[in-house]
Structure 1
Amino acid sequence: MAETVIGIIGGGPAGLFSAIHIATEGRRIIVFEKKAHPGRKLLITGSGRCNITHGSGIADFFPHYGDNGAFLKASLRGYTNRDLISFFEEHGCPVITDDNNKIFPASGKAADILSILTNACRERGVEIRTATPVTAVSRTGDRFVIRTEGGDVETDILIIATGGASYPSTGSTGDGYHFAESLGHRIEEIGPALSPVYPEEYPLSDLAGISFDDITVSIQRDGKTIRKVSGDLLLTHEGLSGPVILHVSRFIRKGDILRVAFMPEKSQSDINRLLTEGQASGGKRLVRTILAQYPIPVRFIQQLIVTAGGADDCTIAHLRREDRLAIVSLLTAWPFQVRRVGGFEEAMVTRGGVALDEIFPKTMESRLVKNLYFIGEVLDIDGDTGGYNLQAAFSTAIAAARAINKKASLLHI
């Protein structure tokens, strides 16, 4: 019987992991990687430490993929974080769990994860063609034609594992979306995700490095609140970052208003009463001294008072009513109009991608084209920070590999 040829476009974690679990006698696996070395983006994940997954129960993963977590239920349950940990430990790479339940290789080196993947491919006879960018794909009869500068390659099965469009210097330049469209698939609008946000007229540049724990951020568009989330916030020289901003950035668009509650909204009356009582007493205490009883950095309080219209050294007795009301408003719902979300060169992942309603969630096979599979970030899936994106890449890769193995077994190939 003729050899089955399986082409995988993309030598990242999803592509390599699928190759490892498909490779067997009678099948020729070819991975096409545009860069000189595979796994370039993997090497920079987790600041080079490679946060491979998260330590929570697998059911807790689903809410960490925006509105698309339901699509991943089958693949995540089919190959859990425990399964992934076992794979790497069995291949000589023990893991550690940090204080935030993020899981890393014990060595702290992403290169160790990549070495395991590439060595396993080599041991199984997988052919990795580096420095081989794919320029186009097409369908001819029951086979696929993969076009490269070195010539065309025909395959029986095609897996697209090209990743998204973030960190383009690593090779993730959105090629997979063009390939998918050429084969008849719809692409949901792509954009940066897990990215900082840059507001118009940002007054907090001098406070870069100050962070706030468990605050609430609301996204307003056309006068309506479309999303409200809570988490930790970090002020930067140019804008807003930290987990709460990174995680919600997938929903933020230019022109949106972000209302940041540095203090809970329910505390408005308490803050107002504190200031009015101070005014009633006619005291000479500084406004910043009175507000310092709240768990807020002093430097932030000083900038807050100035932004509200008062003087840094304003006493409570001289605080104008409009400035008092502005202080209360900024503390509980400071508005930042979005100038832009950080671009692909700084976004950790890409939102949007191959439309999920055109993919079978249990197998990752196209509903439109037989023997065509999509895995990893090329899909309309993006997870929060914490190992969720890599887990999705590995789990979808396994789902596709198992489906291909089962299909090949039934066909005796």
Structure 2
Amino acid sequence: MPNTSTPPAPGSSFSSFLLNNESSGSPNELEDTNRTYVPNKETICKNNTSVLQEENITVGLLLASKAIVQILFNPIVSLITYRLGYELPMIFGFIITLPSILLFAFASSYSLLFVARSLQGIGTSFTSVSGMAILANKYTDDKERGEAMGIALGGVALGLVAGPPFGSAMYAFVGKASPFLILAALTLLDGALRLLILTPSKTAPLTIAAPAFCALLKDPYIVLAAGSICLTNMVIAMAEPTLPVWMLGTMCTPDWLLGIVFFPASISYLVCTNLLPRLSQKIGRWLCSLLGMVLAGISFLCVPLAVNFYGLITPIAAFGISIGMVDVSMVPLMAYLVDLRHSSVYGGVYAISDIALNLGFAVGPCVAGITAKAIGLPWLMVIIAVLNIMYSPLCILLRNPPGKSEKMAILNKE
């Protein structure tokens, strides 16, 4: 009897395939013509991989829709902050985000999920641009500003750490809607705190002349800092849709490990956003960003060398460290650049910062799925790694950026 002791993977769409053996002239072999066999684990994994590669483009577009919407809305949000101040757009962000979460809970089609994801992008645009601008405006000292923004980025990291295991557990044991309903309740609490702290009496139009958005986009130093943010975040954006598929095809990794593959990156990013702000300010934000981009390239080159899940832990943790090094350096540096070279109004520069971040997350998933299918994940890793390493020396130009003479005199006094 043929060996059928290895069961198909749970949930596999190929577990029901029973294939007939070819017959030969031997009487014993003729007896086997009616026998069936279950494909082995390796065959199932390869078949699942081919299906997931086809789905990568569809899922990638869904993931990228939020980032694309944010890119489109960020310039609009920056203009709103110029007219209404920073606080009121934070409240708008809450009002828009809440229905998007509820739509996620009850959506039953791809089109509704796409709408929910896009609506989430609008709410996030209001929150992220105005939130970072509030911190930059409140903390004028460069050291304090870096620490405050590190705490804010740590909040993002905490969501990345807690989100996947929380969502997976709630989905598996309670139901699809449960994690989103809990998030909706937390969003209501967050909205109440925003209304309590950001009272209408404290909101007012900005009295300082704001720099033109186009002028900020033409500033080579702001564009250089934004490019650093974009490229490093594109690393993780490209890995998210493609690495699990590659793991399934090459390592036949269990489903539960696929779900936590980026957990080390989230943990290391959380640690970095809390520990590195002071260090980056001390050694120079330009140097911290340069080292982060080099580390991102090296860690990406190491991924194809892994032969099992445990071999991926170190390079993926290095992903998180590299992104943390760049974010805690470049995000506060953007405010310093606008202080130095323009006027101290921050809505526009953080709209550009958020555009850079979301450009990575918009281009990454869309391009990664197609590229990985065409040339394979190892070559995709090499391309993005080389881009990061080649870009990193440009951070040297941010070491001592020139500014307006009167602005430099004011900053030196402070």
Normalising to structure 2: TM-score of the pair?
0.27
- The structure in which a higher percent of residues are strand is 1
- The structure in which a higher percent of residues are helix is 2
